A and B are shown apart, each in its own frame.
Chain A
């Protein structure tokens, strides 16, 4: 029994000694740090500050003086030395002024912020209401057309039911719009990318009115891409008009719905 305890303790001691011995870095002094060239960064946002040009010069000069002093005082290990760029063995390197701008030392903080000028601010930065306004108008119009079309349908019931465009008519229209539609390439590929647009057309194929059916989605947060997609579809219609519509049967296609779906293109 005592033998095994002895053995065990001996081995434990050995292991402890081994671990102590195998940690060579523990005892070492903290590292000195390699020299580093600091770089001037200019902040331009509302939150950060830009030194006013002449002031900046003064500040830079001040800091340079300070640095000179610091260097002559023999830098402590954690201080970052400034080394002249000439010392870098890079043949094609431009000599840069080494500047350090401390925002806190800059009294001109408020003035140097980039401001959005009020007149412009008012005008619109991102204007979701613009399109919405258009849609609202078209809605009113649509209400009228609905009534009208109802009248027509009642009188010409048979001819309207189940009569779409013929295949060739549809193909002609599709082919035209394919050519006009520039699909925005920045779209997320895993979202529903269908934009439905309802059109009201003149007999010659020019557009009286257009309405995006899911327009509410355009202004939802996180659905910015949808607005972009919808706008691209509207552009396509604008670019294509007058649309290549059949020469006859205006009543059939005076109201037309186009379903723009980018998914196939983006996945393929």
Chain B
């Protein structure tokens, strides 16, 4: 009777540990690409210079800069300070899951969030212009959460 109980418990523990491990592997998989719903991968990222990524990513309907985004923008600011003749365009984008007009405004808001951060690191605003493409220029055509996370972005593009 007791042994039977122990056996049952052992079996349960095993079962639960399997479930847990399954969970763990799944979250790890997503972790490599997204955190929350902010893209953290590097598939689509290009570089303005060695070690200076060109884009930052946003959560759905958000224009708040994440820690990673601020890190990226600081690198960009550093690079811009070194190359004081370069002007940039910040291109704000949204994913396809919103109305066209709202997305235009959202893209503009995202690009400006990036611009404001660059300005606080000493980059003059006359070197930065801003344009919003809304949802008109996605990088990933897919209709899935990962593709959308890649498209919610502000990209710093050399203008000269």
Contacts and interface: CB of A to CB of B under 8 A. Distances in A.
Direct touch of chains A and B (CB < 8 A): yes
Contacts of A21: 124-126
Nearest to A22: B125
Interface of A: 18, 21-22, 24
A24 B129 CA distance: 8
Given A21-B124, A22-B126, 6 more contacts: A18-B125, A21-B125, A21-B126, A22-B125, A24-B126, A24-B129
A21 B129 CA distance: 12
Contacts of B129: 24
Contacts of B125: 18, 21-22
Contacts of A24: 126, 129
B88 to A, nearest CB: 13
Size category, B interface: under 10
Nearest to B87: A24
Contacts, number: 8
Interface string B121-138: 000111001000000000
B39 to A, nearest CB: 30
Contacts of B126: 21-22, 24
A22 to B, nearest CB: 5
8 contacts: A18-B125, A21-B124, A21-B125, A21-B126, A22-B125, A22-B126, A24-B126, A24-B129
A241 to B, nearest CB: 54
Interface of B: 124-126, 129
Across the A-B interface, the 5 shortest Cβ-Cβ residue pairs: A22-B125, A21-B126, A24-B126, A21-B125, A24-B129
Contacts of A18: 125
A21 B124 CA distance: 9
A239 B125 CA distance: 77
B89 to A, nearest CB: 11
A18 B125 CA distance: 8
Contacts of A22: 125-126
A22 B127 CA distance: 9
Nearest to B126: A21
B84 to A, nearest CB: 15
B123 to A, nearest CB: 12
Among B124, B125, B129, residue most surrounded by chain A Cβ atoms (within 10 Å):
B125
A171 B105 CA distance: 60
B40 to A, nearest CB: 32
Contacts of B124: 21
A173 B150 CA distance: 66
A96 B133 CA distance: 32
B121 to A, nearest CB: 16
A18 B129 CA distance: 14
A21 B127 CA distance: 10
A8 to B, nearest CB: 22
A18 B124 CA distance: 9
Nearest to A18: B125
A210 to B, nearest CB: 52
A22 B118 CA distance: 14
A24 B131 CA distance: 13
A213 to B, nearest CB: 49
B127 to A, nearest CB: 10
A130 to B, nearest CB: 49
A22 B126 CA distance: 6
A173 to B, nearest CB: 52
Nearest to A19: B125
Nearest to B130: A24
